[in-house]
């Protein structure tokens, strides 16, 4: 039986990813889809859009284990997308980022294990690799929590629950991304505000993000982290592409980097690339199952002395203005904005 006929819980399911994955699961005939989030307004909006009888909403917060238990009981698969993800906000309130992104994730994983959930996929970000901001640090620690729990399950012989991770970079037109802002500025005839024009960002659609999570859920072993290979463009190129699409020219204003902003998005570190499995469209970073009792017998057969480049938005396929425009106009969320 296809896993898509099962019961799913989307934690943090009222965001951009949540809406998209709910739509995909509904189209694939999921027997039940549950959404856990703390935003009752967004839940009501989704309830009006998705009127399927098999869609259920749970009001709660990942910081509160009791609300998680109520939503998880009886589900087969969990996609964990709840997070504080705005970089400047997390810079000013790092403890809040840790409460949601680290401890909230730990609560979800513990509850999933208690309820014998088959598979849990936690959603991470490029900012977790070589993190320089609080959001990235909290997401990096979230990944470590997932990997440590996966290792513990193997150590105790628990084969019921599989824990997995995904990382993705900039998701085009998602909440908080620059493209909706740029489109709004162009339509008003206002200058496009760019923090740093040479910055590069991956260009990944919400459908790509959903596909990555589905791939991890159906192909991963416990503790694995998956990334999708994606093209990238500079922020300046994205701005020019949108002006080309809208057939309008406006000035570009350079406003300087924001708190915690990175020049490039890194999806796989150099150290991870040394052990990563190339799956054509994806990289899989496998779990390291060695114990903490280091010995020569446990030595990894990897040449870490060799120069291995990280996989980031500066060395992936770089799109021109024309290629970026062609990619953007074929993404439904961008079409909706335009």
For residue 305, name the pLDDT band (cuts at 50, 70, 90): low
Q: How far apart are CA 324 and CA 333, in angstroms?
A: 15
At 200, is the secondary structure helix, strand, or coil?
A: strand
Distance CA 156, CA 336 (A): 49
What is the per-residue pLDDT across 90-138, written as a single tens digit (0 to 9) for each?
999 999 999 999 999 999 999 999 999 999 999 999 999 999 999 999 9
Looking at the DSSP assignment, which residues form a beta bridge with residue 166? 123, 226
- Check if the beta carbon of residue 43 is closer than 8 Å to that of residue 114: no
Fold annotation for 3-168+205-228: Rossmann fold (3.40.50)
Query: Higher pLDDT residue, 331 or 140?
Result: 140
Q: How confident is the model at residue 333 (pLDDT cuts 50, 70, 90)?
A: confident
Confidence bin at 2 (pLDDT 50/70/90): confident
Q: What is the pLDDT at residue 311?
A: 96
Q: Is the pLDDT of residue 26 over 90?
A: yes
- Rg of the chain over all Cα atoms, to the nearest angstrom: 20
Which pLDDT does position 105 carry in this prediction? Answer: 98
Distance CA 323, CA 75 (A): 42
* Buried b / exposed e along 90-104 (16+ C-beta atoms within 10 A): bbeebeebbbbbbbb
* pTM of model > 0.85: yes
Task: Tell how strand 7-11 and strand 232-234 pair up.
Answer: unpaired
Q: How many CB atoms lie within 10 A of CB 269?
A: 17
Point out the least confidently predicted range of 46-60, 128-142, 262-276: 46-60
21, β-bridge pairs: none
Q: How many helices (H) and strands (E) does the chain have?
A: 13, 15
Is 1's pLDDT higher than 50?
A: no
CA–CA gap between residue 128 and residue 190 (Å, rounded): 34
CA 87 to chain centre: 14
Other CB atoms within 10 Å distance of the CB of residue 158:
15
The CB density around residue 35, as the number of other CB atoms within 10 Å, is: 26
Look at the chain and count its residues: 338
Q: Which residues are catalytic?
A: 127
User: Mean pLDDT in the chain?
Assistant: 93
Report the chain's terminal Cα–Cα distance, integer Å: 40
d(CA 96, CA 103): 10
Q: Is 78 helix (H, G, I), strand (E, B) or coil?
A: strand
Locus of tokens 């809208």: 246
Give the pLDDT of residue 178: 87
* Residue 304 pLDDT: 65
How far is 35 from 269, CA to CA, in rounded Å?
33
The HSE-up count of residue 16 (CA atoms within 13 Å, CB side) is 21
Strands 232-234 and 282-285: unpaired
**Tokens in use for 26?**
């509904």
CA distances 196 to 112, 181, 253, 265, Å, are: 42, 15, 10, 14
What's the rounded Cα separation, in Å, for the pair 172 and 77? 26
Are 151 and 223 in contact by the 8 Å Cβ rule? The answer is yes
pLDDT of 259 above 70 = yes
């Amino acid at each position: 039986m296809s896993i898509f006929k099962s019961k799913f819980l989307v934690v943090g399911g009222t965001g951009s990813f949540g809406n998209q994955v709910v739509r995909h699961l509904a189209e694939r005939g999921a027997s039940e889809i549950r959404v856990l989030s703390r935003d009752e307004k967004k839940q009501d909006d989704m309830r009006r859009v998705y009127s399927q009888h098999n869609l259920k909403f749970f009001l709660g917060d990942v910081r509160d284990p009791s609300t998680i238990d109520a939503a998880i009981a009886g589900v087969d698969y969990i996609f964990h997308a709840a997070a504080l993800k705005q970089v400047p906000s997390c810079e000013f309130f790092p403890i809040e980022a840790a409460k949601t992104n680290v401890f909230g994730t730990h609560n979800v994983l513990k509850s999933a294990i208690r309820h014998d959930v088959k598979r849990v996929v936690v959603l991470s970000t490029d900012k977790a690799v070589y993190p320089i901001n609080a959001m990235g640090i909290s997401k990096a620690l979230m990944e470590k929590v997932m990997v440590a729990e996966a290792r513990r399950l193997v150590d105790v012989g628990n084969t019921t629950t599989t824990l997995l991770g995904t990382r993705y970079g900039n998701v085009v037109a998602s909440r908080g991304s620059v493209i909706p802002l740029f489109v709004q500025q162009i339509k008003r005839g206002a200058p496009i505000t760019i923090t740093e024009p040479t910055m590069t960002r991956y260009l990944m659609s919400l459908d790509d993000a959903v596909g990555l999570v589905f791939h991890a859920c159906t192909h991963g072993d416990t503790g694995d982290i998956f990334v999708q290979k994606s093209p990238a463009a500079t922020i300046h190129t994205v701005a020019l592409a949108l002006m080309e699409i809208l057939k309008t020219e406006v000035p570009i204003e350079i406003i300087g980097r924001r708190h915690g902003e990175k020049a490039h998005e890194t999806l796989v570190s150099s150290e991870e690339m040394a052990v990563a499995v190339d799956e054509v469209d994806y990289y899989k970073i496998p779990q390291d199952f060695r114990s903490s009792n280091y010995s020569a017998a446990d030595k990894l057969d990897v040449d870490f002395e060799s120069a291995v480049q990280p996989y980031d938005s500066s060395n992936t396929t770089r799109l021109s203005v024309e290629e970026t425009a062609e990619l953007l106009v074929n993404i439904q969320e961008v079409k909706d904005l335009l």
